[in-house]
Amino acid sequence: MKSPAVTLVTSLVLVSLSDAHATSDVTVRFALVVGHNRAEGKGRADLRYADDDAVATHRLLVRAGVRSVLLARLDADTRALNPRLVPDGPPRWGELAAALKRLRREMRASAREGARPEFILFYSGHGDVSGGEGYVLLEDRRLTRSLLYGVVLSGLPTARNHVVVDACKSYYLAFDKGPGGKRAPYHRSFIGAPSRPRNTGFVLSTSSDRDSHEWERFQAGVFSHEVRSALQGGGDADNDGRITYAELGAFLRTANRGISNPRFRPDFVIRPPGHPSGNLAQPFLSWPRPDERSAALVVDRPGHLYLEDVEGRRLLDVNAASGQSLMLRLPRERLFLRRADNSREYGLELGEAGGGTAGGAAGGRTVRLSRLRATPLSLARRGAMHLALERLFAGGFSKREVAEFVIFFERECLPPGAAPPAVVVSGTDPLVVRLSHELDTEVGILPADLYTTSLQLSVGYAWHMTRLWALQLRLAYLRSYAKDLREQLEENFGIHRRRFAEIDYFGEIGVLFKPIHGRLFLFEGYATHWEVFLSAAAVVGRMEGGDRTEREPSGRGPRVFVGGASGIGLRWILTRSVSLRSDLRQMVLHADGDLYYPLAVTLGLAVNIGGDA
Amino acid sequence: MRQVVPVLLVVLGLGIPSRPAVAHGPLYRNEILFAVGTMPASATSKGLTLYGSYTLRFTRHIGWEVLGGMWFFSSRRDAGISLEDELSNNYDVQPTAECTLEALINSNLIFTPLRGDLLVLGDVEIGGEVFLNLGYAMGSFSNDRSASGLDAGLGVRLRLGHHTSVRLDLREYLFFHEGSHEHNFHLSVGLGLGF
C-alpha cells in the first residue's frame, strides 16, 4: 500500500509534468512581412514580384494563425490581383519601427498570459553589400545587418526568431563577408558576430554573392515560392503540422537539385536558431487543425503538382515521392491542382459550399488527391531559363530527403569543433530559467557506512542571488538502521550499539555554484531544463555512538559535531515553479577529536518562488 | 539462461540497421571510453577503479556498449583500511575471508533519450546528453569465484568537441551467486573518444 507521502509526491510530480507540457506548447507567432520592388539607383532593374511575395507570405501566415503585419507598396498588377488587400504600411523605416513597437507590445502581453511568443521576419526585395556589411532596401533607407541585429531583433521577448530573406546577396545580411570579398565560411560569422541573437534562425536565398531569381511562371521569387510551398505542408514529411528547419531545408534542397546548371540553381542557406550549429528539429511554423480559414489536401499520389487559385496565382509546388503522403494546408476557396507537365488538372472546391470529403477536425475540410477526378490539359513552354527552371521540384520529397539533409547539414555545415548534437538556445531565450527563492524538501540515504544506513529527511531554502550563485540553508533529520554486519556484531559478538556512529540531525549553511545549465530535448522534441551545481557548506549537528574511549568504554554518547560538506547536484526544472533535484554530498565531520566521512545521496522536490524565464 | 543473455545482446545489436533510419543519426558511430571510478557504497570493494569500454552507436538514441571492463587498481586492503583490519582493530573480531569484487566485464544497450545544449558559466555552449544503460555483467571476486549479473545505470555526457566528451556514469551491478545477490554501485568519470 502506498503511503500518503508517496501519493502526495507522485501527484505533485504528475501535476508538475502536465503543467510543464501545457505551458511549453502555447507558442504564439508574430510576423513582420516586408516586400519592396524598387532597386537602388539606375544601374539595377526593379523587381516584379517582391510585393507579390510579401502578400502571398502574409496571407499564408495569417491562415496559419500568425499575427502578421504587412509592409509593402503594391504595384498595379498586384493591386489588381488583390483588390481588397490593404497593407499595414509602406516598406519604410518609420513604419517598420512603429510596427515592431506594436508587435513587441503584443508579444509581451502574450508572454504575460503564459504564451511563448516567436517572431518571423520575412523580406523580399533587393539586397547588396557595402563595406563588408549586407543590407536590404527599404524605400527610404538601407536595412543593414547592424540595424537588423541591433534594432529589429534586439529586445524581443521571444523564445525564437526566424528571418527569411529573398534578396540578392542575402547571405551577408546575416553573416560577415569574408576576407578579400570572398564568401566566408558561415561559421566564422557565427563566431565573429557576437551581436547576432542566438535564438534566431535564418533562411536565406543566397549563400554568397549570388543573385536571387524571379520567375514569371511562379509570379514570384523562386526562393520565396519554394519556402511557401514547404510551409504550406509540402515540406511536412511527417505530417505533424509542424514544419521544422530540417524539413524546410530538405524541401529546398530537394526542390532545387534537379537543376544541373548552377547559374540557374537557387542556392540557399538555412541555419536554425542556436549557436553555433543549431537544432534542425525546431519548428519554423506550426499549423492549427483545419478550420474555417484553411482546409487540407492530402497528396497521396507521387509526382510534381502545382496549385493555383482562380486568379491564376500559383500557391505552391509539391512533389511527393512514391509512398510518401503530404498534407497541404490550403485556403478555403476554389483552387486548381495541376500536374507539372500540365497534362491533367484537378478542380478543388474547398469553400463552404464546395464538395470534397469532409473529415479531420470539426469544422475543417480534408480532401484526398486520390479521390479527385482529373481532366486533361495542354500548354506550351519556351526559353532556356524556363527549361532549366522547369527542373525545379523534379525530385520527389519524402522523409528520406529530410534524413539526408540532416546528415548533409551536420557533415557539410557544422563548424569545426562545434558540438555535434543538436544545439538550441539562448540569448533572451527562456531556456535559461532563473530561479529566485527556492524551498525544497529532500529524502535521501547515507549509504557509505559499513554498519549503518541512515535515512535523511530535510528541508532547505535557497536564495538564488545570480544565475551562477545561490545561498542555501538546510535542516536535516536522520533515522538510522543497522546493516547486516552491525546486527551480527551486536548479536553475535556483544558489541554495544553505542559503538556505532549515527547522525541524529544537522543544519548547514553554504553556497551553490551553478556552472552548467541548459535545455535537453526528449527525442528532439519536448524541452526539459537542467542545471548542474556544486555545493559547499558548513555543517553543525548532533550525533551519537562511535569508538569507545577510556571515559566511555561502551561507546560514545550524544555529542555535537562540526564540519563541512561538498558535493555535486543535478536539477531538473519541471516548470517555472517546480523542480526536482538530486544531491551527492561528501561530508567531513569532526566530533571530540574523531573524524567521520558520511556520503549522502538525496532526491528532493523544490518549489521555486519568483524568478523568470 | 545466463549464457543466453550476451548472445541475445549480440543478436539485438546486429539486428539494428547500420544506417540511421531516422533523421537524426549519430555523427560518429564508434566510441572508446577511459574512466576512473569508485564504489562508494560498497562495504568491501573500496578504492579506485579503471574502466574502459567500446560503444557502437546505431542512432543518436540507441547504441551498444559492446564490451566494457573494470579493474580495481587500488583496494581497501592496499590502503590498509580493509574491512578485516577495521573489524579486528575496532571490535576485536576476526572475520572470515573477505570476498571482494576485483574486476568485471560487461555489455550494455545504451539508450539516449535526452540531448541538447548546456551553457557553461552562462557563455560557452556545449552539447549534453543523458543516457541509460542496461546489460549483462560478469564479475571476478577475490576468492576465485565469478558471478553473472545485471548492469543498469544512468549517465551524463558533456561534449567537448566533435570527437571528445566527458562522461559521468552511475551504475548498479547486481551479481547473483548461489541464490544470493550482491549490489555494487559504481561511479566513474571518463573521457570518451568518438570516431
Q: Would an 8 Å CB–CB cutoff place B47 in contact with chain A?
A: no
Q: Would an 8 Å CB–CB cutoff place B79 in contact with chain A?
A: no
Q: Would an 8 Å CB–CB cutoff place B43 in contact with chain A?
A: yes
Architecture of the domain spanning A15-413: 3-Layer(aba) Sandwich (3.40)
Inter-chain residue contact B129 with A421, CB threshold 8 Å: yes
- In this prediction the ipTM stands at 0.72
Pick the CATH number of B4-194 from 3.30.70.360, 2.40.160.20, 3.20.20.70, 2.60.40.650: 2.40.160.20
Q: What distance in Å separates the CA atoms of residue B192 and residue B176, rounded to the nearest whole number?
A: 30
Residue A507 in this model has a pLDDT that exceeds 90:
yes
Instruction: Summarize pLDDT for A521-540 with one digit per residue, the tens.
Output: 777 666 678 888 999 999 99
Domain ranges of chain A: 15-413, 437-609
Least confident residue range of A220-224, A338-342, A423-427, A609-613: A423-427
Report pLDDT for A125.
92
Inter-chain residue contact B91 with A246, CB threshold 8 Å: no
Residue A12 in this model has a pLDDT that exceeds 70:
no
Residue B8 in this model has a pLDDT that exceeds 60:
no
Least confident residue range of A400-414, A484-498, B145-159: A400-414
Q: What distance in Å separates the CA atoms of residue A397 and residue A318, rounded to the nearest whole number?
A: 8
Strand pairing report for A344-349 and A374-376 = antiparallel
A-chain residues near B185 (CB < 8 A) = 447
Q: What distance in Å separates the CA atoms of residue B46 and residue B27, rounded to the nearest whole number?
A: 37
Higher-confidence position of A164 and A312: A164
Residue A19 in this model has a pLDDT that exceeds 50:
no
Task: Confirm whether A15-413 and A437-609 share one CATH topology.
Answer: no
Q: What is the mean pLDDT of chain A?
A: 78
Least confident residue range of A94-108, B4-18, B168-182: B4-18
Instruction: Summarize pLDDT for A421-460 with one digit per residue, the tens.
Output: 333 322 223 445 567 888 988 888 776 677 888 888 999 9
Measured between CA atoms, the residue of chain A closest to residue B187 is: A584
Q: Would an 8 Å CB–CB cutoff place A425 in contact with chain B?
A: yes
The b-or-e profile of B171-195 (16+ CB within 10 A means b, else e) is bbbebeeeeeebebbbbbebebebe
Measured between CA atoms, the residue of chain A closest to residue B25 is: A407
Report pLDDT for B75.
58
B-chain residues near A281 (CB < 8 A) = 23-24
Inter-chain residue contact B125 with A281, CB threshold 8 Å: no
Instruction: Summarize pLDDT for A255-284 with one digit per residue, the tens.
Output: 888 777 767 777 788 888 875 566 788 889
Inter-chain residue contact B40 with A423, CB threshold 8 Å: no
Measured between CA atoms, the residue of chain B closest to residue A421 is: B127
Instruction: Provide the percentage of residues in chain B whose pLDDT is more than 70.
Output: 72
Residue A359 in this model has a pLDDT that exceeds 50:
no
Least confident residue range of A78-92, A280-294, B2-16: B2-16
Instruction: Summarize pLDDT for A128-163 with one digit per residue, the tens.
Output: 888 778 889 999 889 988 889 888 988 888 888 999
Q: What distance in Å separates the CA atoms of residue A502 and residue A480, rounded to the nearest whole number?
A: 7
Residue B113 in this model has a pLDDT that exceeds 80:
yes
Architecture of the domain spanning A437-609: Beta Barrel (2.40)
Average pLDDT value for residue range B114-124: 73
The three three-digit cell numbers of residue A377, written as one number = 490539359
Average pLDDT value for residue range B137-163: 87
- Which of A25, A401, A53, A390 shows the shortest CA–CA distance to A248? A401
Higher-confidence position of B160 and A5: B160
A521 → closest Cβ in B116, B122, B125: B116
Kindly tell me the sign of the dihedral angle through the C-alpha atoms of A342, A343, A346, A347: positive
Instruction: Provide the percentage of residues in chain A whose pLDDT is more than 70.
Output: 78
Q: What distance in Å separates the CA atoms of residue A284 and residue A235, rounded to the nearest whole number?
A: 11
Inter-chain residue contact B91 with A599, CB threshold 8 Å: no
Report pLDDT for A131.
75
pLDDT category of residue A209 using cuts at 50, 70 and 90: low
Report pLDDT for A190.
31
Report pLDDT for A9.
43
Residue B169 in this model has a pLDDT that exceeds 60:
yes
DSSP characters over A269-294: EEE-SSSSS--TTSEEEEPPPP-SSE
Distance from CA of A432 to the nearest CA of B (A): 9
A520 → closest Cβ in B28, B114, B120: B114
Q: Would an 8 Å CB–CB cutoff place A503 in contact with chain B?
A: no
Average pLDDT value for residue range A498-519: 89
Q: Would an 8 Å CB–CB cutoff place B41 in contact with chain A?
A: yes
Instruction: Summarize pLDDT for A366-423 with one digit per residue, the tens.
Output: 888 888 887 776 554 444 555 566 767 777 887 677 766 766 666 566 554 444 333 3
Q: What distance in Å separates the CA atoms of residue A174 and residue A146, rounded to the nearest whole number?
A: 9
Report pLDDT for B68.
94
Report pLDDT for A434.
64
Average pLDDT value for residue range A318-337: 88
Inter-chain residue contact B20 with A528, CB threshold 8 Å: no
Report pLDDT for A119.
95
Instruction: Summarize pLDDT for A537-582 with one digit per residue, the tens.
Output: 999 999 988 877 777 777 788 899 999 999 999 888 877 688 899 8
Strand pairing report for B47-57 and A116-124 = unpaired
Q: What predicted TM-score, i.e. pTM, was given to this entire model?
A: 0.51
